[in-house]
């Protein structure tokens, strides 16, 4: 009955959680009525052919047309958008608010400061919301257009042999891990975009940014590209739902980009503000050489941490591909 279970899984995974159990029971009963007590593979195939493409059958259960992205990916697109959109709004709003608070100047009245703060926070959230919808939609459009399995399109000549085998739990990609990835992306992008206000040196009643604005602008295109790839890869993992060797290889490439980008960013000669470093040394009563040594120690600590995390994530991806899915019968 592996083909029957795989067919039911292909239908129910495209339905809301509240519908899945009832639909699965209904399909089991329907298939049982269409076959004998111990059906042969050919008899089971005939029953599944009569039921038709699971993508189309799922859309019938939903009783509404599936447009925009495509009948196979549209429910997943909405599910991910419902997660990514509020995360982007929340993180962008919080980081913008923190930036407003740390950059508050007594030169402005409270009324002016509040109005300016609201405009900055709302503007940041609006930009983040638009960007999240755009990038998620773009990723799904690319998956729909270039997916080798063409999962997003109804199959004109559907056949039970096209069913995917059910995967073992060890190979499955948890939704929680994907959502955690989205949250992490939103956090580090939000911090980067507001780095001048969030990463500052404070002493007495003064402050100054630790990082040079010119260097941050220089790396901004790469940051946007890396974030888009990270979100896209997360969406692909959500859609695919289990680890494969090609996915583990893509994960390796992505982690290499992360590590290389981190090295180039942290070792950029103009990344840190020399004025901030000199002031830092004066506050701690250190020589310029001691301050430079402390900065280098912090940079290398961050680099090693990122390399270790990327290595562990890459190894974990390959290990999860070693557990084979159950074979078809």
Q: How large is the average pLDDT for residues 125-147?
A: 77
Asked if the model's pLDDT at residue 122 lies above 90, the reply is: no
Percentage of residues of the chain with pLDDT beyond 90:
11
Q: Does residue 286 or residue 69 have the better pLDDT?
A: 286
Local confidence band at 326 (pLDDT 50, 70, 90 cut-offs): very low
Alpha carbons 122 and 103: distance in angstroms, whole number: 17
- pLDDT for position 104: 60
- pLDDT for position 113: 67
Local confidence band at 166 (pLDDT 50, 70, 90 cut-offs): low
Q: How large is the average pLDDT for residues 27-48?
A: 86
Cβ partners under 8 Å of residue 56, min gap 6: 71, 154
Alpha carbons 241 and 255: distance in angstroms, whole number: 20
Alpha carbons 209 and 202: distance in angstroms, whole number: 9
- Phi, psi dihedral angles at 172 (to 5 degrees): -70, 145
- pLDDT for position 327: 42
Quick: pLDDT tens for 73-89. Answer: 777 777 788 888 888 88
Asked if the model's pLDDT at residue 56 lies above 80, the reply is: no
Q: How large is the average pLDDT for residues 286-313?
A: 89
DSSP annotation string for 224-263: HHHHHHHHHHHHHHHHH-B--HHHHHHHHHHHHHHHHHHH
Q: Does residue 105 or residue 247 have the better pLDDT?
A: 247
Local confidence band at 311 (pLDDT 50, 70, 90 cut-offs): very high
Asked if the model's pLDDT at residue 183 lies above 80, the reply is: yes
Quick: pLDDT tens for 231-258. Answer: 888 888 887 778 888 889 989 999 999 9
For residue 201, give the 3-state DSSP assignment: strand
Say if CB 239 and CB 77 are below 8 A apart.
no
Mean pLDDT of the chain: 80
Percentage of residues of the chain with pLDDT beyond 70:
83
- pLDDT for position 297: 92
- pLDDT for position 263: 92
Cβ partners under 8 Å of residue 25, min gap 6: none
Alpha carbons 110 and 326: distance in angstroms, whole number: 65
Q: How large is the average pLDDT for residues 217-238?
A: 87
Local confidence band at 328 (pLDDT 50, 70, 90 cut-offs): very low
Local confidence band at 146 (pLDDT 50, 70, 90 cut-offs): low
- pLDDT for position 329: 40
Q: Does residue 95 or residue 306 have the better pLDDT?
A: 306
Cβ partners under 8 Å of residue 158, min gap 6: 49, 52, 53, 54
Local confidence band at 145 (pLDDT 50, 70, 90 cut-offs): low
C-beta neighbour count of 109 within 10 angstroms: 9
Local confidence band at 315 (pLDDT 50, 70, 90 cut-offs): very high
Say if CB 15 and CB 53 are below 8 A apart.
no
Confidence (pTM): 0.57
Alpha carbons 259 and 310: distance in angstroms, whole number: 7
């Amino acid at each position: 009955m592996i083909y029957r279970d795989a067919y039911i899984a292909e239908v129910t995974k495209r339905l809301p959680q509240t519908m899945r159990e009832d639909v699965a029971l209904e399909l089991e009963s329907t298939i049982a009525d269409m076959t004998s007590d111990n059906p042969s593979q050919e008899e089971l195939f005939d029953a599944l052919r009569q039921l038709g493409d699971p993508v189309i059958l799922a859309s019938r259960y939903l009783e509404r047309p599936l447009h925009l992205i495509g009948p196979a990916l549209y429910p997943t697109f909405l599910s991910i958008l419902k997660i990514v959109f509020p995360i982007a709004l929340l993180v962008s709003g919080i980081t913008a608010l923190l930036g407003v608070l740390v950059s508050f100047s007594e030169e402005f009245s409270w009324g002016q400061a509040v109005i300016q703060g609201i405009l900055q926070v709302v503007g940041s959230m609006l930009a983040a919301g638009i960007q999240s919808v755009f990038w998620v939609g773009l990723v799904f459009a690319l998956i729909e257009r270039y997916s080798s399995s063409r999962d997003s399109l109804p199959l004109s000549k559907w056949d039970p042999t096209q069913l995917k085998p059910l995967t073992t739990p060890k190979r499955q990609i948890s939704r929680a891990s994907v959502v955690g990835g989205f949250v992490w992306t939103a956090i580090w992008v939000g911090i980067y975009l507001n780095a001048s206000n969030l990463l500052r040196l404070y002493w007495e009643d003064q402050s100054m940014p630790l990082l040079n604005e010119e260097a941050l602008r220089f790396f901004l295109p790469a940051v946007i590209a890396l974030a888009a790839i990270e979100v896209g890869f997360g969406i692909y993992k959500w859609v695919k739902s289990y680890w494969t060797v090609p996915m583990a290889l893509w994960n390796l490439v992505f982690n290499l980009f992360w590590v290389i980008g981190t090295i180039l960013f942290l070792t950029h000669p103009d990344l840190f503000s020399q004025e901030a470093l000199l002031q830092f040394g004066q506050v701690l009563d250190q020589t310029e050489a001691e301050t430079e040594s402390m900065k280098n120690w912090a940079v290398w600590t961050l680099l090693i941490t990122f390399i270790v995390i990327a290595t562990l994530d890459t190894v974990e991806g390959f290990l999860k591909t070693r557990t084979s899915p159950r074979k078809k019968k």
